[in-house]
Structure 1
Amino acid sequence: MRKYFHRTSQPVVAVMAALAMIGLFTAGAIAEPVKLRVSWVSAPSNLISLMMKKSDILLHAGKSYVVEPVYVAGSSPTITALQAGELDIGTLNYVSLPLAVQNAGLTDLKAFSLESLDGGEGCFSAEFRVRKGSGIKTVEDLKGKVVATIGRGSGVHLSQLAMLKKHGLEENRDYTLIESPFPTMKALLKDGKADLIASTSVTSADPELQENSDTLFTTRDAFGGPVALSFWVVSQSFLDKNRAAVVDFMEDFLRVNRWYTDPANRQEALKIFSEATKLPTSAIDAYVFKPGKDFCRPHNLALDPALLQKNVDVVRGLGVVKADFDAMQHFDPTIVNEAAARLQ
């Protein structure tokens, strides 16, 4: 019988076995994608919830990373989840980032990508509306009136607080504050139970509200410019270990952001959003992905640290953020920059 192998010395066998094991471990490490647990609060402001609906345009998903969108009901639970290690990338804003760093001890957080911008050029800014014929023409006219907000400490409340304080009005002394969810705001205004209500892109598209109320001011007015409504943060320790996967994820997400915000894709995008939320297309057509009626999602999702600092300084002046906060110390532009450069 002819032999097709020959005996190899034991040292050579040992070396070959070791090399084979190294190869196996290396292949396994390369093949295993990094799991990215990414929070979202509301759609379509947070497009991550719709990202995998466009898996056909993603180059790296399932290869270098897998994404798990995690619904979290607001910034405070997001901070808690980041503390507990239940999230890898969190959605925060101009007030929750300094609170996460200063109060929750998440000192190595880095803001790296904008998600949505309130009051950007040609985009929607949250509105604060009064009843037509109420006689309220200026912020000063709110003295002695009832102001409705969605919750103390919310972005809506901070916008109201900033604007009213700018015009010399203080809660309890000059006006009464009540809390209400967005869906009941219109009824409060109509029934005379509130004199100023908050309205987001969803409720502002309501024809009845438009007919029976006027916008007194916007979030942009209150902050003196655009507001970083939501952005992503990641810990430096996680980034040090998984930077390549995060950049790949960012590259894919930029593709998704550009696709959803391209007017040529709007009808398909509305259909996807409708199917995901169970809302009829007719109910969302007036604002979702509609220029001027929806929040901004810039082409490269680059977060401006100067803008973030300006937003933080406003809430610092209100006493919500208790200590000075340097936005540049918690900002990393390199992830978005590298991802965007790949798409040029």
Structure 2
Amino acid sequence: MSHQPAAFPAARLRRTRQSGAIRNLVREHTLTVDDLIWPVFVRDGQGIEEPVASMPGVVRRSVDKIAEAAREAADLGISAICLFPYTDPSLKTEDCAEAWNPGNLSNRAIRAIKEAVPEIAIMTDVALDPYNINGHDGYVVDGEILNDETVEALVKMAVAQAESGADIIGPSDMMDGRIGAIRTALEASGHSNVMILSYAAKYASAFYGPFRDAVGASGALKGDKATYQMDPGNSDEALRLVGRDLDEGADMVMVKPGMPYLDICRRVKDQFGVPTYAYQVSGEYAMIMAAAQNGWIDGDKAMVESLLGFKRAGCDGILTYFAPAVARKLAGQ
């Protein structure tokens, strides 16, 4: 920015902060309900809303309750809901075949939501960890995460989700080449309008712990995910990964986690100018909620401030567990 303000007192920069009305007029970034995608957890059963202990206010819902949650989201003006399954441990196997079962939890939930709330967009997760007895996003052989064999499985998983009615496929696995393979398969199977929101820059982060509790992956995970998720010390690599995924057919891209990586969000948006999202992950959410419950911070203000930070960093939208709460607050409820 080349302009220099006039010298004081001709320039009094506090003039534009003197009242709420003036602050509203000059505000550079705003948060709206259109910016929100709500991640939800689905489990087996009927009539179940089961609290996730490490994520205060978040529950695992049975399919019928997921449909009710989707109706709540749509009524609040939230445009999209993202599904994550809590898979029965008995269905977790080495071959992860439950991942592309048309009758698995995610696919049943997609169909239930489409029947109950056809106007809401449904995003899904594409990774093997909810179905893998080893807890990893890909196949494990002799301690190695196999790339190409995993991609073949992810393609089957994505097509099954598209067949069930998913609007947005969210590959979160970080295998090389999976975006191109999934896009090719979607085109070949008649799902050319199904979008891909790639987890293009997903870091090997300590902030995922509560999520792994929520989907039942914590106990299953053997080792870590550092051979496929990004090193937290890297920034230029994120741009290479985003560029690759866009070249392979991604429609939108995501940075994950969110708040520790706002610099990456800004670099991605400035470099590519494409729809850019961030995931305010479980650990971020849990920290704000825990501090608020202990009276250390104002939870509502911290919630809105944290989400506004994503907009300021260039994000077009945010996946956040706060979605219903912030939607109600924005609506004055």
Task: State which structure, 1 or 2, has the greater radius of gyration over its C-alpha atoms.
Answer: 1
In the superposition, the TM-score normalised over structure 2's length comes to 0.28
In the superposition, the TM-score normalised over structure 1's length comes to 0.27
- Higher RCO, Cα 8 Å, sep 6+: 1
